[in-house]
Structure 1
Amino acid sequence: MIATLPMYLFPETRAGYEALWDGIRDALRDTAIDAPDALTHDIPPMDGWAAPDLVLGHICNLPYRARFRDRVTLIGAADFGLDGCGPGEYRALYVVRQDHPAETVEDLDGATMAYSEPLSHSGWGAAATEARAAGRRYRPTLQTGSHAGSAEAVSRGQAEFATIDAQTFRILARHTTLTRNLRVIGATEPSPGITFITRAGQDPAPYLAAINTAISGLSPLYKENLRMISAVSLPTSAYDLPLPPAPAPQIGPDGP
């Protein structure tokens, strides 16, 4: 059995997530749910989400919608108290270099984009879906593999803009210099945040209770480190969002 929490795992947050897992593990065991002693950090996220013995993971809403909706049990979405978002929601920030002329998202029509992954809602899907609805065209020219990579690509002028998960942006701004040459000019619409899951066929209630017990029990240091307020059970309809187009040299309302 495994537990893996990869979505906001940075060197600076690792100890906080390990402390959170310690609390979750103990609370699960108190309800007679088996749980591993420690988090697994070295498994690719897709493999972790698909594991038949998954005790706990957390997943971006796009891979959940696209590939895992019928394969896992939703528990609840992490609430980080992000600006402009409701409980359990997050959004992505449109970022450009400080010297870029764009002042609004509308000014990015035709711009080159660094994107993290095709199955990242915040790093690709939200922007692509909103561009298609608004009749804008973006040119996704560089796949970076991470939000940090996208921030670095924009800062270096390898692409004109990127969309960065607001919680990740907060972590990068606090612990790195990657955001210093960036400017936020807008945000995507809020959607379900990073969501805790377990294997299919489980009752989510004791898992949600264990997560919130563990969050409440974190030390002040780790609470400040993670900035996680709670896990919130969202209706399944909250995840009924359209799938975005795949990245292509130019994306618009009529496709490439």
Structure 2
Amino acid sequence: MIASLPMYDRPETAAANDRLWQGVRDRLGYGPEHLTRGGDFWEHWEHPELVLSQTCGLPFRTRLRDRVQFVAAPVFDLPDCPEGHYYSHFVVRADDPRDDPADYADAVLAYNEAVSQSGWAAPQAWAAARGFAFARVMGTGAHVNAARAVAEGRADIAAIDALTWRIIARHEGYAARLRIIARTDPSPAMPYITAITRDPAPIRAALGEALAALSAADRAVLGLSGLAALAPEDYFAVPNPVVPAADLV
């Protein structure tokens, strides 16, 4: 069996994630002693003995929709956001005078992965609703790399998951060279999943109880306040973006 919480796991959040998993495991009465870290996220998500992981909304509604069981949606501690949803911040260099993402239509958008709701689908959906697309793009492999590419002048704008941005702003020095100019429309927050063969109900209950039992400090570190009453259909209703054939900078 494996469990992983890879979406917001880094040295500054690892201990809080460990305590969350131990709370889930204690209440379930089974599961691996430790979270799996590193490696290919797809191997975690599609593992036949997966107990619990967290994925992104775009992979969930495309490749994973018939391969895993939906457990729950998290409630993130984000202002002006519907429960169980999240949004991305458009970030640019602090010294760039442009204040509207539409002004960056011909600039370089740095994104983490083409399978990312927050870094790719959300900004392109925001642009499409306003009659344009970010056509010059640069894949970076991670939100932290996309933000750094903007700070270093290799790209001009990026859409960073708001919870990830909070962590970057706290712990990455280059964040001081960036500023937020807008946010994307909210979409369902990164879902917790389990193997297709498992009953998600007891896992959902254990996760909710473990979250409630976390210290206020751990909940603040993770930006979590509970679970939302969302269903898989809430994710499947979100349009899928065009996948970039290659970086076009």
User: Do the structures match in fold with TM over 0.5?
Assistant: yes
Consecutive aligned runs of 4 or more in structure 1 exceeding 6 Å deviation: none
- 1:27 matched to which residue of 2? 27
- 1:72 matched to which residue of 2? 68
Superposed displacement of residue 242, structure 1: 1.2
| Distance in 1, Cα, partners of 2:247 & 2:107 | 9
Give the alignment of 1:26-105 within 5 angstroms: 26-29=26-29, 34-105=30-101
Q: Percent identity?
A: 41
Q: Give unmatched runs, 5+ long, in structure 1.
A: 252-256
- 1:8 matched to which residue of 2? 8
Q: Does 1:234 align with 2:230?
A: yes
- 1:247 matched to which residue of 2? 244
AA in 1 matched with 2:234: A
Superposed displacement of residue 9, structure 1: 0.6
Question: What secondary structure does 1:229 align onto?
Answer: strand
Task: State the TM-score, normalized to the length of structure 1.
Answer: 0.91
| Distance in 1, Cα, partners of 2:246 & 2:97 | 22
- 1:106 matched to which residue of 2? 102
| 1:122-178 CA distance string (max 9 Å, x none) | 111111223233221313432111111011000011011000000000111112223
Query: Structure 1 residues 54, 135: CA separation in 2 closer, same or farther (over 3 Å shift)?
Result: same
Question: What secondary structure does 1:134 align onto?
Answer: coil
- 2:148 matched to which residue of 1? 152
* Alignment check: 8 A CA contact 2:90 2:183 kept: yes
Structure 1, 192-201 or 50-59: larger mean CA deviation: 192-201
AA in 2 matched with 1:242: P
Count of equivalent residues: 247
| Distance in 2, Cα, partners of 1:66 & 1:231 | 23
| 1:71-119 CA distance string (max 9 Å, x none) | 1111111111212311111111111101112211222222211110000
* Alignment check: 8 A CA contact 1:114 1:142 kept: yes
* Alignment check: 8 A CA contact 1:140 1:247 kept: no
Task: State the TM-score, normalized to the length of structure 2.
Answer: 0.94
Superposed displacement of residue 250, structure 1: 8.8
- 1:254 matched to which residue of 2? none
| Distance in 2, Cα, partners of 1:195 & 1:249 | 28
Q: Does 1:208 align with 2:236?
A: no
* Alignment check: 8 A CA contact 1:2 1:53 kept: yes
Q: Does 1:223 align with 2:219?
A: yes
| Distance in 2, Cα, partners of 1:250 & 1:107 | 20
| Distance in 2, Cα, partners of 1:184 & 1:138 | 17
| 1:220-242 CA distance string (max 9 Å, x none) | 33222212101223022211211
AA in 1 matched with 2:62: A
AA in 2 matched with 1:28: L
Structure 1, 16-25 or 169-178: larger mean CA deviation: 169-178
* Alignment check: 8 A CA contact 1:92 1:122 kept: yes
Superposed displacement of residue 199, structure 1: 0.6
